[in-house]
Amino acid sequence: MRRPASTGVYTMQASLEFFKSALQKESTVNSTAAVHQWIAQRNAEIKVEVTPIPFYKLGQWYINEATGNIHHRSGKFFTIEGVSITADKGDGPKSWSQPIIHQPEIGYLGFLVKKIEGVYHFLVQAKIEPGNVNNVQLSPTIQATRSNYTRVHQGKSPAYLEYFRERRGTVLLDQLQSEQGARFFRKRNRNIIIEVHEDVPLYQDFRWVTLGQLKELLRLDNVVNMDTRTVISGIGYGSYSSEITDLLGVFAPSMMSDFHASLYQSYVNANNALHTMSGQLSWLTELKSAYELMVNLVPMNLVTDWLRDDYRIYHKEGKYFEVIAVDVTIGNREVSSWAQPIVKPCQEGIVAFVAKMINGVLHFLVQAKLEVGNLDIVELAPTVQCITGNYRKGLNEYDVPFLDYVLAAGKDQVMYDVMLSEEGGRFYRNQNRNMVILAGSDFPVQVPENYRWFTLQHLMQFMQYSNYLNIEARSILSVLSF
Amino acid sequence: MRRPASTGVYTMQASLEFFKSALQKESTVNSTAAVHQWIAQRNAEIKVEVTPIPFYKLGQWYINEATGNIHHRSGKFFTIEGVSITADKGDGPKSWSQPIIHQPEIGYLGFLVKKIEGVYHFLVQAKIEPGNVNNVQLSPTIQATRSNYTRVHQGKSPAYLEYFRERRGTVLLDQLQSEQGARFFRKRNRNIIIEVHEDVPLYQDFRWVTLGQLKELLRLDNVVNMDTRTVISGIGYGSYSSEITDLLGVFAPSMMSDFHASLYQSYVNANNALHTMSGQLSWLTELKSAYELMVNLVPMNLVTDWLRDDYRIYHKEGKYFEVIAVDVTIGNREVSSWAQPIVKPCQEGIVAFVAKMINGVLHFLVQAKLEVGNLDIVELAPTVQCITGNYRKGLNEYDVPFLDYVLAAGKDQVMYDVMLSEEGGRFYRNQNRNMVILAGSDFPVQVPENYRWFTLQHLMQFMQYSNYLNIEARSILSVLSF
């Protein structure tokens, strides 16, 4: 039965069902091992050839020599432009400029969810992207640009699009979330989860898995893609109440390891949080108010310190990233090929949350981070975020606060440590090390003014609204499991 | 005693204290009649002369003829620039351009609050602004631009600035809120309330009043200024709980009139709301995702359909507003004078909420409104918002949805009806009629897709985060009393 969209959001019940699904690390529908094997098999089968080419061979893409910007001849997809920023915190203006991806439209990143054998299962796709280090990764049911879903008569529409366009079922989550502020100009996607109440056809390359299975696969390097991570990071587990414990029945946090029980308590119980929500908001208001900021798109030709040759746009000191052109051929029987610009990082990055028990509740150390592509000045970022590389000052000496602590952490402090990829449609073999470090009593509660301790419940409150948590923070949160 | 800012936010207790203060329509500190008389007296005493002058006599301000933009010679204050917008909802792009005020800094709008005789009192200022229809209005304790508080050595700093800079007390509210999206380019202010725990010197032109007294004065035309309204609109009254009823003691909603009891219930009890919070968020996500939007600052000379002569920048059909230049002289003994550009509306506007009992709870009909200066596409606006005039199609026939209903409402349906001014530093004699209409069973629950029913609790949830409620919606909410 189709339900009207407007009444289709049931938060508390959905939170419980999501939590139940997160606890299910196995499923009789598809075993975790079988899913892993399926991806490995798809990776073995598929041929992906990605070859750097000069810009002038980009075919449908071209450089406008008047501006230096890179466009598609249709005017669609994205452009590579310049952006200039002047930031003044009262100590005088600081300016810089850089290339940036501009794509002023909001795409769908969506999961269909269905209760199978009493547990929410997510419909994942084994999806090939040219930039992926290992070709195939688990993506959401749909990754569709606005062009896909508003002008569907031109070209084949993505599988399951009609479920999202018509919202066939109950909308469980529906958020606008930001992409990388250091790479994209104010880009956001619509992160959506729809529970279907009808039978759904199962197309090739799609499988049903529980949230717990996704979390298990997230312990492996480069299996679950960024789009999946951002959607599932938005899933909350409600507030602690007698209704929840009643409904959960057999479940008790005592069944979990200490750390995972702490995680759960940090999600559902904020009573002993170090700060109130109003306090967190006030801190953010203070930091945002501190800046006088001017951010403008400018022609690439006006970006300083960046150079271009036939094959790449690059920083004069080899820092940050390059924009390159590639020729892509994908397929085994049916072959498709195209050329496109793509962003290639100059080195691997690291993103890490430091977590610590404070007042008996697990807190995460959040950084308010200014990035040029942010819509609203600063976003909540991980404790450490060095995706632009070049943070090394010297042997075991780093410019970035808390990086030393993260890299020197003992094995028993490392709760998560996994290599995860950025989106393979825009980024070429771009992976970051995602970590969660459990700090001991040696780690201070007192932190610099642009850092702040948050419980998971507070982070999930902010998550519901747009442009608060950045994509790097969300990527790490998606990894957390019980 | 000075408390550290980071721990200074006590939401639940503050909500209660605010509510108690809202119930106090009188105070022995300053009677409401005395406050009213004080403003009347100040208005009678003070001489304000505002004379239109040609742009070339603006002195410290000038028009850059290459761009047509208006600047201050210091590079400070604000600029008048052009803005162009292209919006595409999938039915083809629509473009327009207009003049806009650009001021890329965040100012303070702040109240000091002190418990006097057991009740929160707000420190109001009788403030003169050149654009005010009646010269003096009640403003917050402080209205300070960023220049005021970061470079205080240049010029006299505003009274009480140190309380806000050093946060001397407990921060009770601290939000970034937007200004008029049809007039300002992404302008926001920091709305802040600080409870002081020490004795505060009382300077000339300042008085202590309760929230209830402010609400009483808000029933009068043009007494309480926009800056006061936006700050007090952010005050929430918590969630309904046994703690609240216990703490309130004698108070019970039954002591209020039916309508005011309904208002209170709509603030504190969302159990029977028509939609869930996730549902409201999903609706907003859907609408924001519908647009492909390009908004750019452009030189005034590139704005189409607007003309300039020596005295004004105006729309070719006389619509919307004009930018004029004025010479201002204020004072009786001590006289100050200056010249500045100011925005003059072409006619009075109207902003109105339609409210309706649904499921036994009072709901407000909210409009998701696209305005060119919005940071995030659409904001939550009143049911009717015609601040740009020109909504009249013919006799008793209006283009604007629900305007007919509002204007035809019977006397017993009009809960609030008051003329209130826009900020007198930027706007010349700009007042809007602020109304709340209680709709009967003749008003449909089913509304167009860009309208939605909200309880006050849901609106206050959104209010905590930036760029959700627009300033016109907040102005009306500030008027609501118990």
Residues A38 and A136 sit within 8 Å (Cβ to Cβ) = no
User: Which residues, including other chains, have CB under 8 Å from residue B333's CB and lie 6 or more apart?
Assistant: none
Q: pLDDT at position B413, please?
A: 97
Q: Which residue among A9, A297, A465 sits closest to B279, beta carbon to beta carbon?
A: A9
Mutate to test the interface with A, among B282, B287, B463 (most CBs of A within 10 A): B282
pLDDT tens digits along B349-371: 999 999 999 999 999 999 999 99
For residue B7, pLDDT over 70 is answered with no
pLDDT at A248: 57
DSSP string, B170-197: EEEEEEEEE--TTTBSS-EEEEEEEE--
B467 CB neighbours in chain A (<8 A) are: 376
Specify the residue for token string 């300039």. B308
Contact B288 A467 (CB under 8 A): no
The answer to whether B281 contacts A146, with C-beta atoms less than 8 Å apart, is no
The shortest CB-CB distance from B9 to any of A172, A278, A375 is to A278
A479 contact partners, CB below 8 Å, separation of at least 6: A215, A218, A219, A229, A416, A418, A420, A434, A436
A281, A460, A462, best to mutate vs chain B, most B CBs in 10 Å = A281
- Mark yes or no for CB contact B276/A464 under 8 Å: no
Nearest CA in chain B to A76: B292
Per-residue pLDDT band for A4 (boundaries 50, 70, 90) equals very low
pLDDT for residue A151 is more than 60: no
**Region A129-141 average pLDDT:** 93
- How much is the average pLDDT of A389-408? 74
Does position B333 have pLDDT exceeding 60, yes or no? yes
CA distance A276 to chain B (A): 7
- Mean pLDDT, residues B179-195 taken together: 96
Residue B18: helix, strand or coil by DSSP? helix
Is the pLDDT score of B8 beyond 50?
no
More confident residue, B1 or B266: B266
Per-residue pLDDT tens over the stretch A73-116: 988 889 999 999 999 887 888 999 999 999 988 999 999 999 99
Q: If pLDDT is split at 50, 70 and 90, which confidence band does A351 have?
A: very high
Least trusted range by pLDDT, from A130-139, A397-406, A459-468 = A397-406
- State which H helix or E strand residue B111 sits in: strand B107-116
Q: What is the pLDDT of residue A251?
A: 57
Per-residue confidence band for A271, with pLDDT thresholds at 50, 70 and 90: confident
Residue B388 banded pLDDT, cuts 50, 70, 90:
low
For the cut 50, the answer to whether the pLDDT of residue A296 exceeds it is yes
The 8 Å CB, 24+ separation contacts for B448-452 are B448/B401, B449/B287, B450/B287, B450/B367, B450/B368, B450/B369, B451/B365, B451/B366, B451/B367, B451/B368, B451/B383, B451/B401, B452/B275, B452/B280, B452/B283, B452/B365, B452/B366, B452/B368
Residue A45 to chain B, least CA–CA distance (Å): 37
Start-to-end Cα distance in chain B: 33
Q: If pLDDT is split at 50, 70 and 90, which confidence band does A3 have?
A: very low
ipTM over 0.95: no
pLDDT value at B240 more than 70 = no
pLDDT at B11: 66
**CA B141 to CA B109: how far, in whole Å?**
8
- Token pair of A148 as six digits: 């896909």
Task: Report the length, in residues, of chain A.
Answer: 482
Q: Cβ separation of B174 and A286 shorter than 8 Å?
A: yes
**Interchain CB distance below 8 Å, B466 and A376:** yes
In this prediction, residues A399-419 reach a mean pLDDT of 94
Which two three-digit tokens encode residue A208?
A: 């049903």
Confidence tier at A348 by pLDDT (50, 70, 90): confident
**Beta carbons of B281 and A464 less than 8 Å apart:** yes
Mind telling me how many Å the CA of A277 is from chain B's nearest CA? 8
Distances (CA, A) of B428 to B3, B343, B444, B475: 41, 6, 38, 18
Q: Chain A: residue nearest B102 by CA? A: A294
Task: Report d(CA B263, CA B259) in Å as an integer.
Answer: 6
Model pLDDT, residue B145: 82
**B146–A6 C-beta distance less than 8 A:** no
Q: At what angle do helices B277-289 and B456-463 cross, to 10 degrees?
A: 60
Minimal CA–CA distance to A420: which of A181, A189, A225, A148? Answer: A225
In the predicted model, what is the mean pLDDT of residues A280-297? 92
In the block, residue with structure tokens 């049931």: A10
- The more confidently predicted of residues A174 and A395 is A174
Residues of B in contact with A192 (CB under 8 A): 285
pLDDT band, very low/low/confident/very high, at B271 (cuts 50, 70, 90): confident
Please judge whether A5 and B288 are an interchain contact, meaning their C-beta atoms are less than 8 angstroms apart: no
Contact B292 A467 (CB under 8 A): no
Which of B13, B185, B243, B466 to mutate to probe the A interface, most A CBs <10 Å?
Answer: B466
- For residue A90, the model assigns a pLDDT of 79
CA distance A223 to A425: 15
Q: For B48-68, what is each residue's pLDDT tens digit?
A: 999 999 999 999 999 999 999
To the nearest whole Å, the CA of A285 is away from the closest chain B CA by 6
pTM of the complete model beyond 0.90: yes
Residue pair B225/B421 in contact by the 8 Å Cβ criterion: yes
Chain B residues touching A90 at Cβ < 8 A: 146, 150-151
User: Chain A residues with CB inside 8 Å of B289's CB?
Assistant: 106, 146, 176, 190
CB B324 within 8 A of CB B344: yes
Give tens-digit pLDDT for B101-121.
999 889 999 999 999 999 999
Q: Do B279 and A8 touch (CB under 8 A)?
A: yes
With a pLDDT cut of 90, the percent of chain A lying above it is: 74
**Is there a contact between A288 and B176 if contact means CB atoms under 8 Å apart?**
yes
Contact A163, A199 (CB under 8 A): no
**In order of start, what are the domains of chain B with their CATH numbers?**
258-292+346-477 (3.90.79.40)
CB pairs A-B closer than 8 Å: 115
Q: Give B75's contacts (C-beta < 8 A, 6+ positions apart).
A: none
